[in-house]
Amino acid sequence: MSAASEERIALDVHAHLAPALRDRLGDIAGVSWNDADGTMTIDDYTLAAKSVYRPEALVGWMDEHRIERAWISIPPPLYRLSLDAQATRTWVLYVNDGLDALAARFPDRLSPLYHLPVTQPALAAEIVATRARTSRPRFAMPAGSQDHKVILSEAAFAPLWSALDAASAFLFLHPCRGCDPRYEPFYLHNLLGSPVETALAAAHLAMSGILERHARMTVCLAHAGGAAAAAAGRSIDEDHYGATIFSAPSTAELPPPGDLLLDRLRPGLARADHVAVGADETRALLERFLAIGATKFVLNPLTRDPASWLRELYPKAIAPLEKSGPCWEGARIVRAGEPSTVRDPSSHTP
């Protein structure tokens, strides 16, 4: 047997198992176990793949493919994003206890990635703090949600990122099914929808400065990052997208030198050429680019609350330049962190 055929894989971080604690399912609304079929029904959806309930089946598959260990997480049909806050707490407690029980059957092979509810970021932060005191801080979370308007760069997630950072935690981001009807034919939700959702989550984390501000947490993207790798090279194409400018409301929100994307990719670029603090500096930096003929800008807010900062910045630094005359003719700003990111400034509306 060749050395290559004997090579073993140390770890698989993407392995789904569905906890079926039958003594507790009776107390959980919307979920039931079918003894005859050996399947679980979750909110009228029956998860029919029986191997997903059997850790021994996963371990057998790992043996077949020479995988030493797996970190297990719940599959997307168990995310249940529409639950209210109390029902979400009950459900997440159940699935995380269930993951512990599944992993305990094969402690040398399986370890849990505790589920974090993306629609309840405060509860997610609480779970991180609690589990980090008693277990290894490894977690899995849906990568946002189109249906529920969940955006990972919003201020509501700041306590979660801080908790993950404080615990030096591992976070596995996995896409959930979107609501775009164009993905319905040909199984396109999996083929195109999931990779795009993963890339969108990665973009929000990267362009908002969250990754720079929380460097002790490790984020792992499912499915090799989805479409993130294909999009990454386009993020600093200034000829196509415009000059990249970072704006922070105060120096306290600036990441250390070398932590910003442009610091790393263009080490010869002075900070003053792409980072501004406060509205006055931001306006002055925009004016410098306008004076040399720039007509497009990518404005990235460096703050825990990007939407509020952009609302404050607009009348002080952007609107005056829009009305300043021919130098702004045809210019536009792409404002990272807002639901509508591209605006034609000729409308003179925020």
Mean pLDDT in residue range 340-348: 32
Q: In this structure, are residues 118 and 161 in contact, taking their beta carbons and an 8 Å threshold?
A: no
Mean pLDDT in residue range 187-215: 86
Mean pLDDT in residue range 139-156: 87
Residue 214 and residue 102 share a domain = yes
pLDDT value at position 266? 63
Residue 11 and residue 101 share a domain = yes
40 has pLDDT over 60: yes
pTM here? 0.71
Residue 29 and residue 10 share a domain = yes
Q: pLDDT digit string (tens) for 257-315?
A: 766 666 665 666 778 888 899 999 999 998 888 887 777 777 888 888 888 888 888 88
Residue 167 and residue 297 share a domain = no
Residue 258 and residue 218 share a domain = no
Most confident of 130-144, 260-274, 321-335: 130-144
Residue finishing a domain among 185, 208, 231: 231
Mean pLDDT in residue range 48-60: 95
Residue 127 and residue 252 share a domain = no
Domain residues for the domain of 265 are 233-347
pLDDT value at position 10? 95
- Please state which of the ranges 70-84, 85-99, 197-211 shows the lowest mean pLDDT: 197-211
Q: In this structure, are residues 245 and 286 in contact, taking their beta carbons and an 8 Å threshold?
A: yes
Residue 26 and residue 149 share a domain = yes
Q: How far apart are CA 41 and CA 62, in angstroms?
A: 27
- Please state which of the ranges 135-149, 168-182, 219-233, 302-316 shows the lowest mean pLDDT: 219-233
Residue 49 and residue 156 share a domain = yes
Percent of the chain with pLDDT strictly greater than 90: 48
Residue finishing a domain among 172, 201, 231: 231
Q: In what order do the strands lie in the sheet with 31-34?
A: 31-34, 39-42, 45-47
Mean per-residue pLDDT over the chain, rounded: 84
Q: pLDDT digit string (tens) for 170-191?
A: 999 999 877 678 878 887 888 8
Residue finishing a domain among 184, 211, 231: 231
Mean pLDDT in residue range 229-236: 63
Residue 78 and residue 40 share a domain = yes
Mean pLDDT in residue range 80-92: 96
E-strand spans in the chain? 9-16, 31-34, 39-42, 45-47, 67-73, 110-112, 114-115, 138-142, 170-174, 218-221, 243-248, 275-277, 296-301, 332-335, 342-343
Which amino acid belongs to residue 213? R
Residue 254 and residue 215 share a domain = no
pLDDT value at position 345? 31
Q: What CATH number should be reported for the domain holding residue 172?
A: 3.20.20.140
Mean pLDDT in residue range 69-83: 96
152 has pLDDT over 60: yes
At residue 242 the predicted structure's pLDDT band, cuts being 50, 70 and 90, is low
pLDDT value at position 186? 84
